[in-house]
């Protein structure tokens, strides 16, 4: 399975975020910085209307991404769409070796892990709304706790532009290392070059 991922993934990064919190600021700037670095990133710009279920195409994009970058923000957990993404990301991490990288934007890792503060209230609301399917809510809680336990980036009081640059540089370095297999040969480059359209999209560091 691992070799299939290395040679067959379509995107470098799947970006999971709460649009109303970060689309026009942090996530928008992060996506632009990833793109400028030549990192092929999937960012969903066309959310369905409230009440619609997450699309199979979006699940497919998660499966086809080498990395999942999850931007936890204050209202992330209030979105069942985001929580469904998160559960799928955890599934891909376990089953396919996807690398998951959490970002804590204006929330602390502890708040996310323990689901305290605004996260606690949102989960109480979900438990009321999904009282006939509490297993689903529990799966969201598990996914959030497990992913929040992964080492990631916490904005804190740092300058946002430098914070973003640090994320992009680390992902770039991680991607460069995945281009090599144990024999030192390039892996999966031919298909990726066709997708990207130009070798100039890649920078080896």
For 2-109+151-201, the fitting CATH number among 3.40.50.880, 3.40.50.150, 3.40.50.10140, 3.40.50.620 is: 3.40.50.10140
Predicted pLDDT of residue 5:
38
Query: Catalytic site residue 85?
Result: yes
**Candidate list 20, 49, 57, 85, residue with the active-site label:** 85
Predicted pLDDT of residue 183:
37
Q: What is the Cα–Cα distance from 143 to 134, expressed in whole angstroms?
A: 14
Tens of each residue's pLDDT in the chain, 205 residues: 233 334 468 999 999 999 889 988 999 999 999 999 999 999 987 554 444 556 788 899 999 999 999 999 999 999 998 999 999 999 999 999 999 999 999 999 999 999 998 899 999 999 999 999 999 999 999 999 999 999 999 998 889 999 999 999 999 999 887 654 433 444 433 344 444 443 333 333 3
């Amino acid at each position: 399975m691992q070799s299939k991922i290395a040679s067959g993934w379509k995107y470098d990064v799947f970006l999971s975020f709460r649009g109303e919190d970060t689309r026009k600021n942090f996530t928008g700037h992060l996506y632009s910085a990833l793109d400028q670095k030549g990192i092929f990133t999937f960012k969903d710009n066309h959310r369905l209307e409230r009440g619609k279920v997450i699309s199979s195409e979006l699940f497919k994009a998660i499966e086809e991404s080498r990395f999942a970058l999850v931007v936890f923000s204050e209202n992330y957990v209030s979105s069942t769409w985001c929580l469904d993404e998160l559960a799928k990301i955890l599934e891909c991490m376990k089953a396919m070796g996807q690398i998951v990288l959490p970002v804590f934007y204006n929330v602390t890792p502890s708040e996310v892990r323990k689901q305290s503060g605004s996260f606690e209230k949102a989960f109480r609301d979900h438990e009321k709304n999904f009282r006939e399917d509490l297993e689903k809510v529990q799966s969201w809680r598990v996914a959030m706790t497990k992913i929040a336990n992964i080492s990631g980036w916490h904005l804190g009081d740092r300058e946002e532009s430098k914070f973003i640059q640090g994320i992009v540089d680390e992902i770039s370095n991680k991607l460069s290392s995945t281009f090599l297999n144990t024999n030192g040969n390039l892996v999966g480059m031919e298909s990726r070059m066709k997708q990207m359209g130009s070798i100039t999209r890649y920078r080896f560091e």
